[in-house]
Amino acid sequence: MYEPYVSFWKKRLPYMILSGSLVLFFLSILIGVVFGIIFYRVSVKTALSEDLDPKIGKYSSLISASSASFINVIFIIIFNWVHTKVAYKLTEMELPRTQTEFDNSLTLKLYVLEFVNYYSSLFYIAFIKGRFVRHPGDLFEPGLLNKEQCGLGGCFVELTIQLAFIMIGKQAIFALLEMLQPWFEKKKLEKIINFNPKDILLLPQWEADYPLNNWEATALFYEYLEMIIQFGMVTIFVVAFPLAPLFALINNAFEIRLDARKFLSHYKRPVAVRIKDIGVWFHIINALGKLSILTSALTIAFTSSLVPKTYYYLKNGSLDGFISWSISYYETKNLPQNLTDFIRQNNLSLNSSTTCAYSGLRHPPGGSEQYKPTEEFWEILAYRLIFVVIYHNTILLFDTLLDWIIADVPKKLYRRIRQNTYLTNEFIIAQEAIKTENDNKKSSTI
């Protein structure tokens, strides 16, 4: 039997190159959105800090972080819809041979786009923000990444705010859309075919179900994607937002009922298909589990102040004076001319101070080593790296041990499966032997 063949070099390869190029293009747009939100956050914080009302300036960091997180959620929802349409169209253009190839290609493209869409801002706050600022003078140098600095406690609070906004906001908006979408589709259908909803009770079930949505091969794909994105938020940054598993549990309780109602009331009955497992999603979950161990270690070591506090406590026996120890000083005469002009034009002052304090373990001004890292800085950096290595290998070893202890298939069930397989093979061999014997008897009589 002839199978239709599509030339790889003439038709499939050009579309695959186009698909990869467009995915990279959308990834660059997402990175640009992250930089745009950074610019917004810096601008709002600067404007609020310059406000003459001290109450507003006091909460400038909280206001800028919360508003930026809300805007980020809006962009995430918009790009989520765009990526779904674009990824599906690109996968169709690639002309996959089988449904499995289609699903795997769609999964790879869409998950890469959604991974950057949802997690890029979180990774920036956790591991990039404030790393390019050595002292206050760097805040006025050219560049966008050196315009933000973490507080004395690190960027942990802002990471928690960002994760809470993204997770709770996404769940609330998506749950609302899942409740409203079937209602809008029903009203649209009633308007198109112009019938009274009460008349549908008089129709046979098969005729009443005819206007319902068709069950597509990718109907469950987006449900998987939503759960995997949620799983990533719960595992990768759980140390920053310990309530994430609780909100995920609450969301899943509602999601079960909403999806059940949607599949039973708004879709035609699907044809049952036997599958071996969840496919490529299993490998994605496994990769996320391994990644979450590393990100948790890095978040605790570099984003929080756990390691510096532990270092200070072991040396002094208490945390008294930790804040004073963790800050350094910068001479105000080294501030840029445009900043000093702004202070003078707005009748502001530095209260006759010759220095300003900032978070960092650096040498004081006035010496050959001014503003360079102190010995404590390098010691704490070494302890951070040691913590990451110990934490990562310990959890990975524990995970491997649990994976070995708890088998995927219980031994009793595995033995029953092997026994049934053996009996089935023996039955087939016996039947083939009987059939062969009967054929030999027939041939001998002839």
Residues 254 and 384 in one domain: no
Residues 204 and 109 in one domain: yes
Which of 270, 304, 338 finishes a domain? 304
pTM of the model: 0.76
Residues 297 and 312 in one domain: no
Q: How many domains in the chain?
A: 2
∠ Cα 342 346 350 (to 5°): 75
Residues 241 and 348 in one domain: no
Q: What is the mean pLDDT of each run of 10 residues along the chain (446 residues)?
A: 68 80 88 85 73 63 80 87 88 82 85 88 81 64 61 72 83 79 72 65 74 77 86 86 86 86 81 78 88 89 85 87 80 64 55 68 77 85 93 90 84 89 90 83 70
- Residue span of the structural domain in which 339 resides: 308-405
Residues 279 and 332 in one domain: no
Instruction: Tell me whether residue 366 is in a domain.
Output: yes
Instruction: Tell me whether residue 426 is in a domain.
Output: no
Residues 266 and 399 in one domain: no
Q: What is the pLDDT of residue 67?
A: 83
Q: What is the pLDDT of residue 420?
A: 92
Q: What is the pLDDT of residue 138?
A: 60
Which of 256, 272, 304 finishes a domain? 304
Residues 42 and 84 in one domain: yes
